[in-house]
Structure 1
Amino acid sequence: MSAIRTVLGDIPAPDMGVTDAHDHLFFRSPVLAGQELDDRQAAAAELRAFGGLGGRTVVQWTPRGLGRRRADLVELARETGIQVVSATGLHQAVHYDPDHLARIRDRLAELFVHDLTKAPVRSGLIKVAGGFHGLDAHARHVMVAAAEAHRATDAPIAVHLEGGTAATQVMDLLCGVSAVRSEAVILGHLGRSPDTRAHLEAAHTGAFLCFDGPSRAHHATDWRLFDELAALAEAGHGHQILLGGDTTTATARASSGGGPGMPFLLHSLRPRLAREFGEKFAAEVFIDNPARAFAADWE
C-alpha cells in the first residue's frame, strides 16, 4: 500500500492533508553564507503558523550535507503536530566541498537507499538538481544514482530546476534513460522561467509540477503564477500541480518579520486559488496532488 514516509514513520497517503510541497526548515550552504536556516525556535514558529491555518504536512527538500538536522525535525514534528517529510539526495556541486563529493561519488545510490530505508530518521524523497539550461557531469551522476535508489525503494525524486530550466533534459535522463516512472518525479521551480510552452511540455511528460518560492528574491515569478496555473489547468494538467514556499534563508521566514514564509501559502495563495479556480481545484493542489506525488510503495 502506498504511504508517505515522514520523520515519525509512514502514514497512509490520504492522511497527508494540506501540504507545503517544497520548503526548508533547516538549510546551510557556502553559497548562502551568513543566511543559514539554523534557528530551531524560528522553525517551530513557522510550523505552528502553518498548522494554525490548517496546514498538515511540510516536505523539506534539504538534501544530504546541507544541514538537514533530522533529529530536530523529529522533535519539531512531535512538538507542533505537523508531519514532516525529509530528503536524501544531493544538490549542485557548488554547495559541497569537492573532496567530500569525491569520497562519496561511487556509493551515492547506497547512501540514498540507506537514508530511505535504514537510517534512524528515514527520508521520504530524493532531492537532485539540474543546471541552467542543461545538466553537467555532477548532475547526471547524481540523477543516475537517484534513479537506482528509486528503483530499489520506489521513493519519489524531487528536482531543483536551476532558473526553472532543463526540465526536458531531466526527464529524458531520469525516465527515458534510467527507467524512473514519470509520476515519481517532481519538477521544482518551474515558475522561475515563466515559459508557458515549456511548462506544458514538462506537463506532457507526466511529472508533477511544483511552483514554489514566493519571496523577495523571486518576486518576479509571483505575479505570473496564476496565468501559468490557468494555462496548465485549461490544458488538463491540474492534477499535476503542487505549491510550496521554498524558504531558504532566515529573512524569508514569516517568523523573522520578513517572509512571506510558509503561512503565505494558506493565508494568501489558497484563498486566491479558490476564488479564481474553485475550491475543488485548491483542494486538488494542496491535498490530493501531494498525496499522490510523495507516496511510494515502500515494502
Structure 2
Amino acid sequence: MTAAIRTVLGDIAPSELGVCDAHDHLFLRSPVLPGQELDDAGAALTELDAFAALGGRAVAQWTPWGLGARADDLPALSRRSGVHIISATGAHQAKHYDRDDLRRVYDGLAGLFVHELTGARTRAGMIKVAGAYHRLDDHARHVIAAAAEAHHATDAPIGVHLEGGTAAMDVLRLLCDTHRVPAHRVILGHAQRFPDAESHRRAAEAGAFLAFDGPSRAHHGTDWLLLRGLTALADSGHAPRILLGGDTTTSAARSGADGPGMPFLLSGLRPRIERDLGVDTAAMIFVENPARAFAANWRS
C-alpha cells in the first residue's frame, strides 16, 4: 500500500505536505474556556494566511469530536489559504463535554472515530485522545481503547494530549503493549510541559513522536525550556522523533489578537532552531518528521 496523508481536501503524498504546524486549532469550543472560543472563520483564515506568508504549508487541527471542530468549514479555508489541513476525530477529557452528549456516544466511540476517518463528508486524518494530570483515568483508558480499535481499522495516527506532559510511558504501555498500536503511529503532545530529558529520550527510544506544542500561548511555565528540550533530544540522536506545533487554544492567543499564534513557529522559533540545531535539523522537524508522523496506509 502507498502511504498518504489524509487532508480535508483529500489524500496527498507525504512529499506534498511541506512545512507543518503539527498541532494547532482553527476552531475550538469547550466549557472550560468560556468566552475564549475559536469560532470565527475569518480569524482562522487570517491566521492561515499569516502562516502561509512565512512558508507554512500544512496545519494539523487536533480539535476532536464534540468540541466545535467545524470540519465542514475546513475545506474552504484550505482552498483559500493554500494550506493543507489535517482534521482530527477522537475525544478529549470528560470535563470538556456535556455529560449527556458524552453518554450517548460512549459505547460506540470506535465506530464514531472510524466513520469520521473514512466515511464523513470531510474526513479526519488523525485520532486525538487525552490523559489526565500525571495519570490515566477510567475515561482516558476507555477513549484510548476506542482509538486503538479505530487505528487498527484504518491505520490512522493517534495524537495524545498529555495534560501535564507526564504519563508518556503509561500511555505507550497502554497503547503499544496492551492494544498493540505501533509506537511510531503515536504522537505524544505537550512534551515541553514536563521538561525532563530522560522521559523524552525514553519515549523517543520507544519509537513515538514527541510534539513540543504550546508556544502560541507564550505564558506556560515551561516555555522557556522548549529549545533546551529540543536540543537534548537532537543531541541524543532523536531529532527524527520531534514535531513542533503552536496549540492555539484561545482567541487571545492568535496572532491577530494579543498572541503570537501560528506564525510564531516560523517567525520566532524556526530561526532559533536553524541557528542552534542547524538548517537540516530544522527541515527535519518542520517538514520530514510531520510527513512521516501523519502518513498512513489507509484502510477503509
What TM-score range do you get, normalising by the shorter chain?
A: over 0.9
Name 2:229's counterpart in structure 1.
228
> Residue 165 of structure 1 corresponds to which residue in structure 2?
166
Residues 1:8 and 2:9 are matched in the alignment = yes
Secondary structure class of the residue paired with 1:187: strand
The one-letter code of the counterpart of 2:193 is: R
User: Does the 8 A contact of 1:23 with 1:246 survive in 2?
Assistant: yes
- The alignment partner of 1:31 has SS state of coil
Give the Cα separation in 2 of the matches to 1:187 and 1:218.
21
Q: Deviations over 1:93-112 (max 9, x none)?
A: 00001112211111100000
Contact map agreement 1:157 1:185 (CA 8 A) in 2: yes
> Could you report, residue by residue, the CA deviation over 1:240-293 in whole angstroms, capped at 9, with x for unpaired residues?
00000000000000012x111000000111111111111000000000000000
Alpha-carbon contact 1:192-1:218 (below 8 Å) kept: no
Contact 2:216/2:254 (8 A) holds in 1: no
User: Counterparts of 1:46 and 1:292 in 2: how far apart (Å)?
Assistant: 25
**In the TM superposition, what whole-angstrom CA distance separates every residue of 1:200-226 from its partner, at most 9, and x where no partner exists?**
122121100000111446442221111
Aligned partners of 2:272 and 2:217: how far apart in 1? 20
Q: Equivalent residue for 1:268? A: 268
Q: Distance in 1 between matches of 2:226 and 2:167?
A: 19
Residues 1-299 of structure 1 mapped to structure 2, 5 A cutoff: 1-216=2-217, 218-256=219-257, 258-299=258-299
Q: Deviations over 1:165-198 (max 9, x none)?
A: 1101100100010000100000000101111121
- How far the C-alpha of 1:122 sits from its partner, in A, is 0.1
| RMSD between superposed Cα atoms in Å | 0.9
More helix by proportion, 1 or 2? 1
TM-score by length of 1: 0.98
Distance 1:17 1:215 in 2: 20
CA distance in 2, matches of 1:271, 1:171: 32
C-alpha displacement of 1:230: 1.2
**Which residue identity does 2:266 align to in structure 1?**
L
CA distance in 2, matches of 1:21, 1:216: 15
Distance across 2 between alignment mates of 1:219 and 1:136? 24
- CA distance, structure 2, for counterparts of residue 66 and residue 216 of structure 1: 19
Aligned equivalents of 2:40 and 2:102: distance in 1?
27
In structure 1, runs of 5+ residues without a counterpart are none
Instruction: Report sequence identity in percent.
Output: 63
Give the secondary structure class of the aligned counterpart of 2:89: strand
Distance in 1 of aligned mates of 2:118 and 2:219: 35
Write the letter of the residue equivalent to 2:101. Answer: H
Deviation at residue 227 of structure 1 after TM alignment: 1.2
Give per-residue Cα distances to partners, 1:89-147, cap 9 Å, x unaligned.
Answer: 00000000111221111110000000000100000000000111110100000000000
Measure, in 2, the Cα distance between the counterparts of 1:56 and 1:239.
20
8 Å CA contact 2:209–2:243 kept in 1: the answer is: yes
Q: Distance in 2 between matches of 1:248 and 1:211?
A: 15
Runs of at least 5 residues in structure 2 that lack an aligned partner in the other structure: none
Q: Secondary structure at the match of 1:209?
A: strand
Distance in 2 of aligned mates of 1:279 and 1:62: 31
TM-score by length of 2: 0.98
What one-letter code is carried by the residue in structure 1 that aligns with 2:86? V
Amino acid aligned to 1:265: L
